[in-house]
Amino acid sequence: MAPFAHRSLRVYHAAVEVWELVVEATRGIPRRFWPLEQQLLRATSSIALNIAEGAAEFSPGEKTRLYRTSLRSAAESSAALELFARNGAMAPEVAESITLRLEGIGGMLMNMIIAVRSQRTPLATRSAAGPGKSVR
């Protein structure tokens, strides 16, 4: 059986590593920050989960949408880390270190989105009647 495609993607493994770093960095966060902690954990897990789902998708439009969702979750995670650092709930250097990794993931995702968008539909799958017309 062939492995799932996401398991061969560097960006997926980077996203899992970020999630692990966030789990560790949020241990001991003051209780008053619990809602933001939960949001950060959801956002960082969303990065990896949407990458995996996108890698398994055949439709270029849906694949792009899933990778864009991962990109947005990375941006959300970065903002949450900044909020923690600004409020003294996390060491600024820890937040910055994780944010730099998130920026790297964002760059990889942008490259993937551009690559998917630039792919053309193979001639064998195009309608013989032309764009937007059906063949009966």
* Average pLDDT score over residue span 34-59: 97
Instruction: Supply the range of the domain harboring residue 16.
Output: 5-118
Give CA–CA dist 5/116, Å, rounded: 15
What CATH number does the domain containing 48 carry?
1.20.1440.60
Q: Is 124 among the domain residues?
A: no
Task: Identify the pLDDT of residue 58.
Answer: 94
Whether 135 shows a pLDDT value over 70: the answer reads: no
Q: Considering only CA atoms, which of 65, 76, 61 is closest in space to residue 18?
A: 76
- For the chain, how many structural domains are there in total? 1
pTM of the model: 0.85
Q: Is 105 among the domain residues?
A: yes
Q: Is 109 among the domain residues?
A: yes
Q: Is 25 among the domain residues?
A: yes
Whether 127 shows a pLDDT value over 60: the answer reads: no
Q: Is 131 among the domain residues?
A: no
Q: Select the more confidently predicted residue: 108 or 124.
A: 108
Give CA–CA dist 6/67, Å, rounded: 12
Give CA–CA dist 121/17, Å, rounded: 34
Q: Is 101 among the domain residues?
A: yes
* CB crowding 88-97: b at 16 or more within 10 Å, else e: ebbeeebbee
Average per-residue pLDDT in the chain? Answer: 89
Q: Is 129 among the domain residues?
A: no
How is residue 18 written in tokens?
A: 């970020």
Task: Identify the pLDDT of residue 120.
Answer: 58
